[in-house]
Structure 1
Amino acid sequence: MRRLSRAVAFLLLLLPLALAATTTMAAAVVAKAPAAAAAPPNVTAEMAKGGCKAFADLIAASPDASSTYQSAVEGGMTAFCPSDDAVRAFLPKYRNLSADGKAELLLFHAVPVHYSLGSLKSNNGPMNTLATDGAARSFNFTVQSQGDAVTIRTAAAAAPARVESTVLDKDPLAIYVIDAVVEPVELFKPAPSPSPTPAPAPAADAPKAGNGKAAARQRHPAPAVADAPGPAAEDDAAPVDQKDVKKSAADGAPCSRWWLAAALAAASALV
């Protein structure tokens, strides 16, 4: 009886220790269990809050675009959402696209990589988008940065789309507002190249100072000179020439008579 009492007492002493050990082990198991993964952010909800509600509504209305956007977030994504004003201006073109074309256009505005604004500035060049489907339908655009300005350019638009603000930049998702809808060349014709500016025509030389007479002669040319007189005119002038000869001989006559008188006087003196 005494042995049984001792055994019961011993078990009663061990029971609290066993309970404490069980509690500790359970707490350790709970601590080691991984925490439930946070749900990825809702892309269209974030766009709507950041000023791109019109673009978010277009994504929500396209089942293909909506599911692709939401599934791509888990692996990292950068979205460029056009502002509401830009979407409203583009709606006439958007409505002319087929259902597949609309989905491709919406997917063309996202890149399957998370880019912070700083890394976006340092990654200038072509980028594949969620719409890229092999080499035949590349659906890529070119990112260019200069200073703090980041732009997106394609051959289908004469002017690039410019990044205006940041809606969200937290891994795995970045969303930036742009000022225009980006048009892929797979859906729209290439924009015409700007025509070169023609060179200005050379200015006419201004007349120099002091050259007024020459300018007057150009404005009022002198009358044409008559042809030189023919032989008949020379015959008419002959009497005038003969009269001049007789006059010259008469002028020289006194000089000859003076020399004759002097010679006679000299001869008389010698006799």
Structure 2
Amino acid sequence: MPRPLPRTMRRLRVADALPLAVLLLALAASPGLAGAATTAAAKAPAAPVAPPNVTAEMAKGGCKAFADLIAASPDASSTYQSAVEGGMTVFCPSDDAVRAFLPKYKNLTADAQASLLLFHAVPVHYSLGGLKSNNGPMNTLATDGAARSYNFTLQNQGDVVTIKTAASARGAPARVKSTALDRDPLAIYVIDAVVEPVELFKPAPAPAPAPTPAPAADAPKAAGKAARRPAPAVADAPGPAAADAAPVDQKKDAKKSAASAGAPCVRWWLAASLAAVVAAASALA
């Protein structure tokens, strides 16, 4: 059989219970007071939800190498984490794309590296549907007015979303491969290449036009025709006149003199012939 509590202990327990009993009686007597207490409890603000950890979400979505570069850059890391509260869309290159780009990245200064990392984020949350409905230039976290534009061009063709600049490697745009996270205020899309801003890299050279093939088959025929064709005749140039040649007028006078000198000889020959004919005729008679 349990022993009864001492009288002093019973008094203490009753004294402890009195405030609670008084409160319950007051609430029962005043329904308005109970309602006010309930309303105040309902209006109490909920604890704010902490913004997502950007680099942790990138690493989980397949962009650990890019997330490590951001974490190693104090400027980029603080800007990413502060911008996510207002809404942000990140285009994070895959691990393979970052590894292929590392030699170029290491040649940049610390400020240029931070600008390149910030260049891959837009200070607006775009769902995948909203992303596919946009085309044209976009500002990035690296944009600083007209001094540093740091814009890229978003292009959509069907379900393919691409990002391009004038300095894109080989002129090929980076393509969105998958969605790592799309939950307001943060969207993360994995792309297959690092996007190069023109502020840090030279524009890609335009592809050279293909050379026009030479008409190799016609060349031998033309050469054969040229070989068979006779060379054009060249007239001999007139030689110098003889030093003792007579002028043209003198030549004409000489011809007239020769004709005059030969005339008596002709007349004598005709007279002799006629006399011979007459003599022959007389002898026959």
* TM-score over 0.5 (shorter chain): yes
Give the aligned partner of residue 3 of structure 1.
none
1:141-197 deviation digits (Å, cap 9, x = unpaired): 000111111110011122111100000111111100000111111111111111112
Question: Is residue 71–residue 77 contact of structure 2 (8 Å, CA) maintained in 1?
Answer: yes
Q: Which residue of 1 aligns with 2:201?
A: 188
Partner in structure 1 of residue 212 of structure 2: 199
CA distance in 2, matches of 1:222, 1:178: 67
- 5 Å-filtered alignment, 1:1-271, equals 15-18=26-29, 21-157=32-168, 158-202=171-215, 204=217
CA displacement at 1:205 relative to structure 2: 5.6
TM-score under structure 2 length normalisation: 0.66
Counterpart of 2:160, as a letter, is A
Structure 1 pair 220/38, CA: closer, same or farther in 2 (3 Å)? closer
* Distance apart, 1:119 and its partner CA: 1.3
Deviations 1:74-98 (A, max 9, x none): 1110000000000011111111111
Identity within the alignment, %: 78
Q: What SS class does the counterpart of residue 200 from structure 2 fall into?
A: coil
Report the CA distance between 1:219 and its aligned residue. Answer: 11
1:225-271 per-position Cα deviation (integer Å, ceiling 9, x unaligned): xxxxxxxxxxxxxxxxxxxxxxxxxxxxxxxxxxxxxxxxxxxxxxx
Letter matched to residue 182 of structure 1:
V
Alignment gaps of 5+ in structure 1: 1-10, 207-216, 225-271
Partner of 1:45, secondary structure, is: helix
Number of aligned residues: 207
Does the CA-based 8 Å contact 2:138-2:153 persist in structure 1? Answer: yes
Is contact 2:27–2:33 with CA below 8 Å preserved after alignment? no
User: SS state of the match for residue 126, structure 1?
Assistant: strand
Distance in 2 of aligned mates of 1:12 and 1:95: 71
Q: Which amino acid in the other structure matches residue 45 of structure 2?
A: P
Amino acid in the other structure paired with 2:213? P
Q: CA RMSD in A?
A: 3.0
Deviation at 1:199, TM superposition (A): 2.9
Closer, same or farther: CA 220–52 of 1 in aligned 2, 3 Å: closer
Structure 2 unmatched ranges of 5 or more: 1-21, 232-285
SS at match of 1:174: strand
Q: What displacement does 1:18 show?
A: 3.6
Instruction: State whether residues 89 and 125 of structure 2, in contact with CA within 8 Å, keep that contact through their aligned partners in structure 1.
Output: yes
The 1:199–1:21 alpha-carbon spacing in structure 2 relative to 1, beyond 3 Å, is same
Letter in 2 for 1:136: A
Task: Say if 1:160 and 1:32 are closer, same or farther in 2 by CA, change over 3 A.
Answer: same
| Residue 61 of structure 1: how far off its partner (Å) | 0.7
Any idea what SS the aligned residue of 2:182 has? Answer: strand
Name the TM-score, length of structure 1 as normaliser: 0.69
Q: Deviations over 1:177-224 (max 9, x none)?
A: 000111111111111111112233346469xxxxxxxxxx96996999
Query: 1:125 & 1:76 partners in 2: Cα distance?
Result: 20
Pair 1:219–1:170, CA change in 2 (3 A) = same
Range that drifts further, 11-20 or 87-96: 11-20
Offset of residue 34 of structure 1: 2.2
Q: Aligned letter for 1:190?
A: P
Kindly state the Cα deviation for residue 20 of structure 1 after the two structures are TM-superposed. 5.2
